[in-house]
Amino acid sequence: LDWFISAPKSAQTWESPETIDFALLRKQLCKLRQVLSMAPNGQLRSVRMGAKSSCYNVYEARGAMQPTTPRQSIAVVVEGFLLFHDQALCEMFDAHVWLEAERD
């Protein structure tokens, strides 16, 4: 989610739902889903996501390009505790996982 923070990181409340551009995240995840469904095995060289100021490659083709089979699937993992705040975003996912760990 850090790629979609719209407030400066120096702000005291930068890690709150109000600072996340959920609309941009939903839009880019829809685009990623569309692109990967059309070219899942390396037909595409890269996909960039994030706000214009912090855009990152999230998919990059490596190795030989091979056609897909009907049984192949692609998993996209999206992480961040604020994901659960946006109902429309939550409805886009097939599964939800909450992990908690000790800091040590």
Tens of pLDDT, residue by residue over 11-31, are 667 678 888 889 999 998 888
pLDDT tens column, 41-77: 555 556 677 776 566 666 555 554 454 555 566 778 8
Whether residue 21 lies inside any domain: the answer is yes
> Is 18 domain-assigned?
yes
b/e map of 65-99 (b: 16 or more CB within 10 Å)? eeeeeeeeeeeeeeeeebbeebeebeeeeeeeeee
What's the pTM value of the predicted model, to 2 decimals? 0.68
Would residue 82 count as lying in a domain?
A: yes
Count of domains for the chain: 1
Domain membership of residue 47 as a residue range: 2-90
Has residue 104 been placed in a domain? no
Q: Is residue 32 scored above 70 in pLDDT?
A: yes
Residue 103 lies in a domain: no
Is the residue at 62 inside a domain? yes
